[in-house]
């Protein structure tokens, strides 16, 4: 692991790091905020997964999470959205596929399967590195994300309920099987057999029996992607049918941007803190 940058903030340290990933076969970059803490103290972890076209830098620079994480004593980890590098296949003229659009899955179709293994990276490899390198208590983890990263947070959290005490999301793609973004990505990364898609679809996972310990979703009503791509109502319906007491909040007038995310980020951190410390 190589340190790229380090800055003091809110009494803690905001770092950016890189390492060679076995899962993706590329160099990967991620950021970690470690709040002020006593020597020898270990802290709970909140994972943040970013959306289409983004990297770790979007939330690191615009997410406004550090004050809340310092207040509640939470380590904040933000990985990249996809593998990067000259040898990594891409779709140069398609913002919603290829680099920046890994969809937090393990691709099974060539040429994508060699490097596009973001599920293995986020679920297994990076947590092991974080556990070795930072003062974290891996028995207390939570996960959140935005848009495509909200999809990642929901599906990774639902597949690993023993690991994550709470799940939240901002403007998530809740049913990518029924979304043009998801249909495009899944058919090319995973192939045409839609039975393999359900493990990466939050609504399908809930319909199949997955249950979160705690779930919070914020969605802006002025989000241009709401009706065609995000389809928040499908998640609300699936939760009602499953008897899941989820907090799915429609926030009047907010769009898809980090102006929206930063407005509610402190609430999400505080909400996760209650579950991580409870």
The residues annotated with a catalytic role in the active site are 147, 223, 256
On whether the CB atoms of residues 31 and 77 are closer than 8 A, the answer is yes
On whether the CB atoms of residues 12 and 38 are closer than 8 A, the answer is no
Q: H or E element: which one contains 118?
A: helix 118-120
The strand ranges marked E within the chain are: 2-9, 12-20, 27-34, 43-49, 75-79, 136-145, 164-170, 215-220, 247-251
DSSP characters over 155-193: HHHHH-TTTEEEEEEES--S-GGGSHHHHHHHHHHH-S-
Asked whether the CA dihedral 110, 116, 119, 125 is positive or negative, the reply is: positive
Give the up-direction half-sphere exposure of residue 28: CA atoms within 13 A in the CB hemisphere.
Answer: 25
CA angle 125–80–227, rounded 5-degree value: 120
Percent helix, strand and coil across the chain, each to the nearest 5: 35, 25, 35
Residue 133 CA, distance from chain mean position: 21
- For residues 251 and 125, give the distance between their C-alpha atoms in angstroms, rounded to a whole number: 35
């Amino acid at each position: 692991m190589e340190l790229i940058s380090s800055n003091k903030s809110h009494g803690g340290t905001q770092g950016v790091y890189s390492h060679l990933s076995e899962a993706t076969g590329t160099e990967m970059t991620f950021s970690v905020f470690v709040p002020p803490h006593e020597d020898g103290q270990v802290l709970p972890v909140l994972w943040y997964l970013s959306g289409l076209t983004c990297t770790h830098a979007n939330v690191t620079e615009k997410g406004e999470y550090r004050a809340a994480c310092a207040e509640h004593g939470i380590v904040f980890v933000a990985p990249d959205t996809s593998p990067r590098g000259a040898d990594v296949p891409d779709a140069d003229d398609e913002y919603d596929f290829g680099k920046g659009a890994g969809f937090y899955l393990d691709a099974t179709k060539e040429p994508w399967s060699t490097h596009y293994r973001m599920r293995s990276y986020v679920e297994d490899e990076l947590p092991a590195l974080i556990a070795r390198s930072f003062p974290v208590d891996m028995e207390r983890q939570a996960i959140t994300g935005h848009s495509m990263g909200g999809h990642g947070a929901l599906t990774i959290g639902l597949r690993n309920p023993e690991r994550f005490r709470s799940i939240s999301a901002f403007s998530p793609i809740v049913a990518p099987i029924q979304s043009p973004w998801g249909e495009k990505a899944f058919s090319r990364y995973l192939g045409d057999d839609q039975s393999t898609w359900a493990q990466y679809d939050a609504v399908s996972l809930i319909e199949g029996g997955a249950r979160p310990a705690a779930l919070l979703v914020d969605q802006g009503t002025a989000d241009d992607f709401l009706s065609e791509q995000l389809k928040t109502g499908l998640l609300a319906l699936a939760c009602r049918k499953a008897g899941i007491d989820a907090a799915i909040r429609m926030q009047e007038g907010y769009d898809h941007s980090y102006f929206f995310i930063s407005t509610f980020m402190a609430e999400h951190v505080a909400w996760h803190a209650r579950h991580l410390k409870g």
